[in-house]
Amino acid sequence: MKIFLDSANLESIKKYNDMGLVDGITTNPTLLSKEKGDPEEIMGEIVRIVKGPISLEVISTDFMGMMAEGRRLAKFGKNVVVKIPMTADGLKAVRALRDEQIRTNVTLIFSANQALLAAKAGASYVSPFIGRLDDIGEIGMDVVGDIVKIFQNYKFDCQVLVASIRHPLHVIDAAKLGADVVTLPPDVLAKMIAHPLTDIGLARFLDDWKKISRSPSPKLTVPR
């Protein structure tokens, strides 16, 4: 399963990219609005830092506007995937952009039917929003399971990108269902790295080392 970072924060992107954990990035206008600086420059910088697919979202809601924006965003780099909202005009733009070899990620998906239509239109990714479904008392992960099954049945060339992830259990559930990608807010990724028993175990190892060595750190010479 691929891990994307759901963030426009350059510091977090660099941090986790240096750990080799970031296969791609998803951004949206809300994430960009949280950052200081020109959004266009931030998007350009993200495209330069991460080699994998970078989802950049259009703001237009009409077909012609989405096409113009999609073409412009695609010029940021070869790894750009244009994020298009799940609307009738959006589906038309997905098909037209695909005909121009521009990849798309259909966002704001809340049902398996919407994902089926986006895949049929030619999207490279569909983004079901799990946390927002959970928020209204629906089981977001059930939608992911349905989409994965449908895409397998018909061998759609479209990846299931699980979005709106709120906690590490969402990641385990998405992985068990065979989703292609999860896009994670940096705090969820941080929680996946940490475990209290790791901290306790490390502290104990260091304490025990102090009991047997006069040197606080290991000698850096190679023993003969």
Interactions with ligand E4P, residue window 118-147 (CB under 6 A):
127, 129, 131-132
CA distances in angstroms from 208 to 9, 92, 215, listed in the order given:
39, 64, 12
C-beta closer to ligand E4P: residue 114 or 127: 127
| Residue 31 and residue 184 in contact, taking contact as beta carbons nearer than 8 Å | no
C-beta closer to ligand E4P: residue 97 or 163: 163
| Residue 218 and residue 40 in contact, taking contact as beta carbons nearer than 8 Å | no
Q: What angle do CA 50, 98, 140 make, to 5 degrees?
A: 70
First to last CA, the chain: 43
Among 3, 14, 21, 28, which residue interacts with ligand E4P (rule: CB under 6 A)? 28
Candidates 186, 199, 191; CA nearest to 17 is: 186
Run of H or E residues at 48: helix 39-49
Dihedral, CA of residue 94, residue 100, residue 105 and residue 111, to nearest 10: 30
Q: Does 7 engage in binding with ligand E4P (CB under 6 A)?
A: no
C-beta closer to ligand E4P: residue 9 or 183: 183
| Annotated active-site residue in 2, 14, 51, 83 | 83
Q: How many residues bind ligand E4P (CB under 6 A)?
A: 11
**Cα 82 from Cα 94, distance rounded (Å):** 9
C-beta closer to ligand E4P: residue 128 or 145: 128
**Cα 220 from Cα 223, distance rounded (Å):** 9
Q: Does 65 engage in binding with ligand E4P (CB under 6 A)?
A: no
Question: What is the x/- site pattern for ligand E4P, positions 74-113, by CB under 6 A?
Answer: ---------------------------------x------
Among 114, 124, 159, 164, which residue interacts with ligand E4P (rule: CB under 6 A)? 164
> 3: which 2 tokens?
């891990």
The residue behind tokens 């012609």 is 64
Among 7, 17, 26, 104, which residue interacts with ligand E4P (rule: CB under 6 A)? 26
Burial per residue of 104-138, b for 16 or more beta-carbon CB atoms within 10 angstroms, e otherwise:
bbbbbbbebebbbbbbebbbbbbbbbbeebbeeee
83 is catalytic: yes
Q: Does 60 engage in binding with ligand E4P (CB under 6 A)?
A: no
C-beta closer to ligand E4P: residue 175 or 200: 175
Catalytic residue positions? 83
Enumerate binding residues for ligand E4P (CB under 6 A): 6, 26, 28, 107, 127, 129, 131-132, 163-164, 183
